[in-house]
């Protein structure tokens, strides 16, 4: 099989897995482990078949890169565990360099998603209140006083299915890369 056609099939599989993750996330705000772990195994296996040990290492490097880039958002509760695992799955298909580019594109898509969500007046008002609370609490703690605490789980302005940003960013990056390669 021609290598170019094989790469298109691999990217088609990644796009299908991303679509499945988005569908489940929109329906339940959860991304099933069987989707992300199955996708990671597929990415690793495909790279191993195509590139042997070096291909498997490339896939593992991409997996680790994708996870490392989303982990800070998970740790501050700005993203869920499923989102971090989904970005790791993307990395297992793309490798480290493209995982970084896809993550940057994902963060841009996430900002756009957040701005669209904030267009709703109630969400905008809650987000403004939450930002004031965050800053007031931070300044109070810097001054040595006990300031208000913010719990992102209970005081959220809106729940966003971040898989949409991951899919849009990843597919946007891959489209841009394909276009750049034709120049």
Give the model confidence (pLDDT) of 2-61 as tens digits. 556 557 778 889 999 999 999 999 899 899 999 999 999 999 999 999 889 999 999 999
What pTM value is reported for the model? 0.79
Domain limits for position 95: 3-118+158-182
Q: Tell me if residue 35 falls in helix, strand or coil.
A: helix
Question: Could you tell me if residue 136 is inside a domain?
Answer: no
Q: What is the pLDDT of residue 179?
A: 84
H/E element holding 81? helix 81-94
Q: What is the pLDDT of residue 1?
A: 45
H/E element holding 4? helix 3-28
Question: Could you tell me if residue 16 is inside a domain?
Answer: yes
Question: Could you tell me if residue 36 is inside a domain?
Answer: yes
Which stretch of 9-13, 66-70, 114-118, 156-160 has the lowest confidence by average pLDDT? 156-160
Total domains in the fold of the chain: 1
Question: Could you tell me if residue 112 is inside a domain?
Answer: yes
Residue 133, both tokens: 């609370």
Would the pLDDT of 145 be above 70? no
Question: Could you tell me if residue 142 is inside a domain?
Answer: no
- Burial string for 84-123 (b: 16+ CB within 10 Å, else e) reads bbbbbbbbbbbbbebbbbbbebbeebbeebbeeebeeeeb
Question: Could you tell me if residue 146 is inside a domain?
Answer: no
Question: Could you tell me if residue 170 is inside a domain?
Answer: yes
CB 176 within 8 A of CB 183: no
Question: Could you tell me if residue 110 is inside a domain?
Answer: yes
H/E element holding 171? helix 163-182
């Amino acid at each position: 099989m021609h290598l170019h056609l094989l790469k298109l099939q691999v990217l088609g599989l990644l796009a299908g897995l991303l679509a499945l993750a988005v569908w489940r996330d929109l329906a339940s705000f959860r991304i099933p482990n069987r989707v992300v772990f199955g996708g990671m195994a597929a990415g690793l296996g495909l790279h191993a078949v195509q590139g042997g040990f070096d291909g498997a290492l490339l896939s593992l490097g991409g997996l680790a890169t994708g996870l490392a880039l989303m982990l800070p958002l998970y740790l501050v509760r700005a993203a869920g565990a499923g989102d971090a695992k989904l970005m790791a799955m993307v990395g297992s298909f793309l490798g480290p360099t493209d995982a970084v580019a896809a993550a940057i594109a994902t963060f841009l898509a996430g900002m756009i998603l957040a701005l669209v969500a904030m267009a709703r007046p109630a969400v905008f008002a809650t987000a403004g209140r939450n930002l004031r609370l965050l800053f007031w609490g931070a300044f109070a703690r810097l001054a040595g006083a006990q300031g208000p605490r913010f719990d992102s789980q209970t005081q959220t302005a809106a729940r966003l299915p971040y898989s949409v940003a991951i899919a849009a960013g990843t597919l946007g990056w891959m489209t841009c890369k394909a276009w750049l390669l034709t120049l």
